[in-house]
């Protein structure tokens, strides 16, 4: 009998220390909107995206002449070119360029793991990620970015979608209850993401900010057949 690899789900960077062993690849998920924007940007020809956790780092890059995007609490931070709307990252003027990005939750999550392969996922490229993970056949942790260290529904559902596909292959198994619950939530949600997430806290938050087009974009699965990977300090296409 071949030993199956594990695929587990961690609900927030705050919980990461509890899950940090026993995996080789970390898949970071921030559906609304950081990782969806990163996937869209890389798929549309950005050279790279440099994720930074603090606004201080973001300002330093700006002073060095970089294009810098920064978001906090759903809003573009004053003094920066744009926030984390996926549409901003698909601007043809950015093709071939590097963009620095700092967001409330996503970039923090991306910079959390140490000495792991770090991959960037959203619902927009979930199938591409599953395909990659099946090929790599290593132990996987799906890391939801959450909301200010708390559990977040749309990230968990995206993690559940990827875990469900890996387990269905027969080559992966999940042992943690967090992973089992994420798969259950995905299975209930997958028929109608919009309805299921209607009451989610972050969707309400973004709706107030008139970001309905962004929400629709981020909840439309499998638009991009691309796997962004963290290479040193930069996210690039695999």
- Cβ-based nearer residue to a copy of itself, 69 or 182: 182
- Residue 231 CB, shortest distance to a copy of itself, in Å, is 31
Look at strands 5-10 and 172-173 and give their pairing.
parallel
Q: Which CB atom, from 189 or from 235, has the smaller least distance to a copy of itself?
A: 189
How far is it, in rounded angstroms, from Cα 208 to Cα 230? 32
Number of Cβ within 10 Å of residue 126's Cβ equals 26
């070119």: which residue's tokens?
81
The count of other CB atoms within 10 Å of the CB of residue 236 is 15
Question: Residue 30, exposed/middle/buried by CB under 10 A (0-12, 13-18, 19+)?
Answer: buried
- Distance in Å, CB of 25 to a copy of itself, minimum: 20
Shortest Cβ 125–a copy of itself spacing (Å): 22
Q: Minimum CB separation from a copy of itself for residue 48, in Å? A: 31
Q: How far is the CB of 51 from a copy of itself (least distance, A)?
A: 23
Helix, strand, coil shares, percent, the chain, to 5: 40, 20, 35
Residue 230's CB: how many other CB atoms inside 10 A? 21
Q: Is the peptide bond before 33 cis (omega within 30 degrees of 0)?
A: yes
For residues 85 and 156, which CB has a smaller minimum distance to a copy of itself in the complex?
156
* Shortest distance in whole angstroms from residue 155 CB to a copy of itself: 9
Query: Would you tell me which residues interact with a copy of itself (CB under 8 A)?
Result: 11, 14-15, 18-19, 147-153, 156, 175-178, 180-181, 184-185, 188, 196, 199-202
In the bound state with a copy of itself, the residue whose beta carbon lies nearer, of 67 and 182, is 182
**Residue with Cβ nearer a copy of itself (14 or 137):** 14
**What is the helix (H) or strand (E) element at residue 98, kind and residue range?**
strand 98-102
Beta-bridge mates of residue 90: none
| Closest to a copy of itself by CB, 17 or 45 | 17
State the angle between helix axes of 126-136 and 153-168 in degrees (0 to 180), rounded to the nearest 10: 40
């Amino acid at each position: 009998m071949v030993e199956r690899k594990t695929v587990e789900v961690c609900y927030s960077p705050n919980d990461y220390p509890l899950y940090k062993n026993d995996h080789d690849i970390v898949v970071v998920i921030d559906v609304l909107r950081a990782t969806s924007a990163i996937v869209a940007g890389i798929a549309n020809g950005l050279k790279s995206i440099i994720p930074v956790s603090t606004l201080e780092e973001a300002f330093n890059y700006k002073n060095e002449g970089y294009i810098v995007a920064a978001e906090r609490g759903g809003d573009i931070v004053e003094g920066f070119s744009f926030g984390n709307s996926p549409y901003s990252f698909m601007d043809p003027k950015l093709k071939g360029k590097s963009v620095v990005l700092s967001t409330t939750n996503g970039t923090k999550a991306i910079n959390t793991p140490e000495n792991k392969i770090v991959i960037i996922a959203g619902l927009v490229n979930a199938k591409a990620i599953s395909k990659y993970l099946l090929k790599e056949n290593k132990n996987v942790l799906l890391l939801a970015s959450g909301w200010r260290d708390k559990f977040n529904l749309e990230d968990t559902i995206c993690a559940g979608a990827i875990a469900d596909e890996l387990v269905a292959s027969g080559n992966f198994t999940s042992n943690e209850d967090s992973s089992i619950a994420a798969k259950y939530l995905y299975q209930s949600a997958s028929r109608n993401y919009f309805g299921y997430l209607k009451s989610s806290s972050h969707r309400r938050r973004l709706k107030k900010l008139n970001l309905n087009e962004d929400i629709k974009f981020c909840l439309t699965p499998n638009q991009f057949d691309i796997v962004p990977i963290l290479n040193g300090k930069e996210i690039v296409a695999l």
